[in-house]
Structure 1
Amino acid sequence: MGEFDLIRRFFQRPASAGVDVGVGDDCAVLVPTPGARWLVSSDMLVEGRHFLSTVAPERLGHKALAVNLSDLAACGATPRGFTLALALPRVDEAWLAGFSRGLLALADAHGVPLVGGDTTQGPLNICIAVFGEAPAGQALLRSGARAGDEIWVSGRLGDARLALEVFRGTVVLDGAGFETVRAAMECPTPRLALGQVLRGIASAAIDVSDGLLGDLGHILAASRVGARLDLDALPRSAVLAAQPAAVQQECLLAGGDDYELVFTAPPGARLPDVGVALTRIGRIEAEPGLRVVDAAGAPVEHGLRSFDHFAS
């Protein structure tokens, strides 16, 4: 099977609303919404670095798009299209069928069309660029947090990292527990609906991809503020809550791969109900730095840091 046959069979789709020209030409032609601004993000997934070789291709297709849509969610954007650049060691039709099925199922669920990309031979590498829109001046950024704002997070944290520790052999879980955390690791949910309704409410936002400490730290740096984070308030599954305290701390604070939204909002802000739990986990302070405390307000020493591609 040649490159263009591969594209036509697994990734060619009819043009959709907002797309004048999609897959099959030198460039996609998208139709902007009057008064909106484009938001663009790109993420690369490399085998052995971002995902295990044992992951099911359907789940890998889902995650490859989900992690990119999560960036749009963090900015309050509505997705409008995406491109896929895919390096494959060889043409494996069964793998491609599963990968494209997972990828396009998530795309259809959020009404975001595949509009172009590239394929080549090489080590397995997936690079997706997403294009979204938000009304002018309404995109959520990292730089708007102010002293006194409350810090909130969606969903729960730490399960993806716990699954990784099972794969590494440092944690043992029963079958049901492992499947729960493995699903969190391999099939994250991009919080697009939440991000869109937070426009005009949240003062700053980011998605948790590399770990809560580091990602919240990006908000603090961009906003030039500090924060107090309540370790005991961090939402976690029953599976993670059954682990030793040190394992819980590492998964919650430095785990990453959660793709939940962390955002700040003024006290008393009326938060929307979009079917996902929201938990208040701390407060923005004027004093620089990120201080982790327990329920009694006592400092928690941890020595943890978030994932860094070149330092880890």
Structure 2
Amino acid sequence: MTTPTSDVLIRATGLTKRHGSFTAVDGIDFSLNRGETFGFLGPNGAGKSSLMRMIGCVSPVTAGTLEVLGGDPGRDGSRIRARLGVVPQDDNLDDEITVRENLLVFARYFGLSRRTARRRADELLEFARLGDKAGASVQSLSGGMKRRLTIARSMINTPEILLLDEPTTGLDPQARHVLWERLYQLKQEGVTLILTTHYMDEAEQLCDRLVVMDHGTIVAEGSPRALIERHVTREVVELRFAAGRAVAPEDVDGLAERVEPLPDRLLLYTDDGEATLSKVHSEGLSPLTSLVRRATLEDVFLTLTGRTLVE
């Protein structure tokens, strides 16, 4: 295992993961640079979890190459894991000991001295805003507090890369924003972040660059803003009509760059929403409600992966 000589911390070429006859990750290429926040987006079954497990050196590569921190996960797994922090999708804290003890016990896995472990625990409790909960049982914590403790625990070894699998799933908006603040602080401190998320606003807020995956392949890559500019228009007009008032895409033909009919509304993709809405009214159409909004990463995601529900 060698230390990377460039700012590329992870590089994958033709990376493939099969589970029996099922191909979860299908020959993808990507690279991750030091200091980035990099996101993997995709519907259920797109291959995100399989990819994160390979990066985390807990699932072997089937084909292709994967280099993490200058090493081969199959050969140098233990040394790579010592330099990673992992935040699993579900909190797996020890409920039978205190908040601070969760950090101290985890420090033993990395061979930290008692003195270093105590210092790191104090630093991380402050970072996670849990200093006043140090002696409390984990069971007494709220969901947001448990999530912050899980992230604090993952930082005990001062990792170079932090892997976060859906870090804010199930949290209320206030807890999500507090967690975003903590993650942004880690980035400012030089930690490289990799995350999977189903929240498109989270990806827009946190990610410098991301890939959209579908059926094990990468269908788009870039910054959130670049993906929006490349795959959708600047604005979207949402039109809802009264019950029984059938409006087909042909009724607004030529008024927008693209029209997407949904069961409950029409979406008009355009670079000037107000002008497009004026044209709608000039055609004699009277929507029950109308909304002009900025195009988002969610529009990109649904355009690329479709609206079919994946269980």
TM-score of the pair, normalised by structure 2: 0.23
Max radius of gyration: which structure? 2
TM-score (norm 1): 0.23
Larger RCO (alpha carbons 8 Å, 6+ apart): 1
